[in-house]
Structure 1
Amino acid sequence: MLLFHLGIVDEPPRSSGPVPFADWLADLQPPIRETVIAYLERKRATCQPKTVSAIATRLKHGQHRLRPGAGYLKVGSGLSHINDLVVPVG
């Protein structure tokens, strides 16, 4: 904040707290990003915040399983349709 008040930087630092999903997943293609964000928002209703944060991190790095044995989601690789997300296990 000091650098902002001294005029060294143009914007004050972002307040601490969780990064919004839209910012966290900004590198995903828009149709997939909206679907993944909607999924995470639904998970918030039934899971602890730390659990949803962990799922978001795994989604961002392509390591999240929809269910055991279902395969992994591969996000962030230039995909443009939700049907292209699931990679078979094995």
Structure 2
Amino acid sequence: MKEALHSTHPAIIKRLKRAGGHLQSVIGMIEDGRPCLDLAQQLHAVEKAIAEAKKTLIRDHLDHCLGEAAESLPEAQKQSIAEFKAIAKYL
């Protein structure tokens, strides 16, 4: 079953494609014998880009998918889910 495209998905795709291209350039840097400090800095940038894409995806899922699923729940359970969504922003 294919899930709906969320509003954040195009931005996530763009970020991941950019990270993929950046990773390819890091591979080239390694092959060219660039200094380890340069490589570490660039790999850190790739890692951060992927982590941000993951965070955006998870937050989007919590806000939309979990929020929609909770609509029919009793108020106490809705409150618990709202608190979970709020604290998950600090992950």
TM-score between the two structures when normalised by the length of structure 1:
0.29
Q: Which has the higher contact order (CA 8 A, sep 6+)?
A: 2
Per residue, is there more helix in 1 or in 2?
A: 2
Per residue, is there more strand in 1 or in 2?
A: 1
TM-score between the two structures when normalised by the length of structure 2:
0.29
Which has the higher Rg, Structure 1 or Structure 2? 2
